[in-house]
Structure 1
């Protein structure tokens, strides 16, 4: 789920039925290689086929900033992506960290076929897509095998509840190497009750956690994306604070005591039945 400001799109008449409803592609009139993938009326991915380092959605820029600040510049990563859509971040990693080995877990086979046809991955080295759900796919990954686990999965404009439980978070921790990082894209608004519970859940599993989001979202003024990063090792909070302050995407970084206060005693999510992920208001996607 993503929000974007411009609305200068040229529709592509090829509309496809996929597992999540109807998929369509909109061409970006401002960028020759730019495409927006929309599923069930919800924008899922922006892909620039000519320049995979161009990240258009605000939350994706924040994910890219975190990735850029990890390890050595250009160092290849092994990564698992829970949720695929247009594979924007896998393309970015392949371009900025050549030699990376990546697995994308995407349950919608029809969507995968559309992406392979219209947003081809043939020239993107090291990326494999497995048509499977996140829990099943992650369970098949060996212990301590990856540097990154990325959760960016939405169904009907909401994060699947089973992917934000303590059990799933511990599965992500199991797959990560000692200094590996778990990245999450969630969405919330108003009182941020869902984000507080997700944060409490992640903090139960990882000793180092930080949050990045638009200040208006963190104040509950609008519905939007919230990015979390978690690790057993310290995270590059200072570098990310500087990026957040001076980057194209306006963001505020929250960590340490401020993140504890943000949680405000919220209960971790023990089971999917314990939480109902929030649905965005319709106006969020009005630009599309």
Structure 2
């Protein structure tokens, strides 16, 4: 049922897409959180989620053991379940009221999917080493990245959970000069030998606030294949890797628990249109 519902981090609103019979937008306090098409889980509406899908599509074939930190309506877990049958997935989300809203209104009976209400860092501490093929961090509270998930300590914990060939995907946001993104990039490069970045060219140049998707792994990433896919998308994104990525990082230092910059805040004029999970 469309409507407004109280949740832990504000007021959630559930809206039906007038152009698709069973597709829904979930927002919290006016900030878009998830778009999910219940009839076609492979339909990814948000551009940055499509970038997640581009990377997932180029992982080795077969089912995945995946951990998602930040779930909302579980758009990407539904996509993985639809495109890689047999996958086992666990979602951590700190907003229990939002999880129950999604369960009641949009359903969470997805094959192989479990959802647990917990803080991301606390959840990471419960996972076994070498237990995941994919870890995805996409956790926001009121348009800001949830605390502690971009640090060197969290990144090392994620690397320990991943198998040797596993991939870490993260969505962050930033604006002019990309100060937060550069430090997050330095954090990833301190832990993973392979890193790439996907973003709208205007966001990458710091001309507007937006999403940046990072992929990292201990194993080689199919950067050229991903670059071709994203360049031909309806809304093209750039894939930055290798020397260009090192140049972007510059002299930025990793984010740590003791040295954490404030999370970037989107301008008020784009807040209501800004997608997060």
Please classify the TM superposition score into its range, dividing by the shorter chain length.
over 0.9
Flag the 1:287–1:277 CA change in 2: closer, same or farther, 3 A: closer
Which residue among 97, 100, 114 is the counterpart of 1:128? 114
Counterpart-to-counterpart distance in 2, 1:54 and 1:205: 33
- Higher relative CO (CA 8 A, sep ≥ 6), structure 1 or 2? 2
TM-score, length of structure 1 as denominator length: 0.93
Whole-angstrom CA distance in 1 between matches of 2:147 and 2:185: 14
- Relative to 1, partners in 2 of residues 1:91 and 1:256: Cα closer, same or farther, differing over 3 Å? same
- Asked whether 1:32 is paired with 2:21, we answer yes
Assess if the C-alpha contact under 8 Å between 1:35 and 1:48 holds in 2: yes
Match of 1:111 in 2: 98
Alignment equivalent of 2:73, drawn from 74, 86, 107: 86
Q: Tell me if 1:246 matches 2:246.
A: no
Cα RMSD, aligned residues only: 1.2
SS at match of 1:162: coil
Which residue, out of 169, 172, 187, partners 2:155?
A: 169
**2:209 matches 1:220:** no
Question: TM-score by structure 2 length?
Answer: 0.96
Contact conserved, 2:31 with 2:273, CA < 8 A, in 1?
no
Q: Give the distance between the partners of 2:136 and 2:25, measured in 1 at CA.
A: 20
Separation in structure 2 between the aligned mates of residue 23 and residue 280 of structure 1, nearest angstrom = 19
In structure 1, the partner of 2:247 is 261
Map of 1:97 onto structure 2: 84
2:57 pairs, out of 68, 73, 87, with 68
Residues of 2 paired with 1:175 and 1:209: CA distance? Answer: 17
Contact 1:99 1:125 in 2 (8 A): yes
| C-alpha displacement of 1:19 | 0.7
Q: Which residue of 2 aligns with 1:149?
A: 135
The count of aligned residue pairs is 274
Structure 1: which 4+ aligned runs deviate by more than 6 Å? Answer: none
Q: Secondary structure at the match of 1:163?
A: coil
Contact kept in structure 2, 1:162 and 1:272, CA below 8 Å: no
Summarize the Cα distance change of 1:205–1:146 in structure 2 as closer, same or farther, 3 Å threshold. Answer: same
- Between 1:274-283 and 1:192-201, the stretch displaced more is 274-283
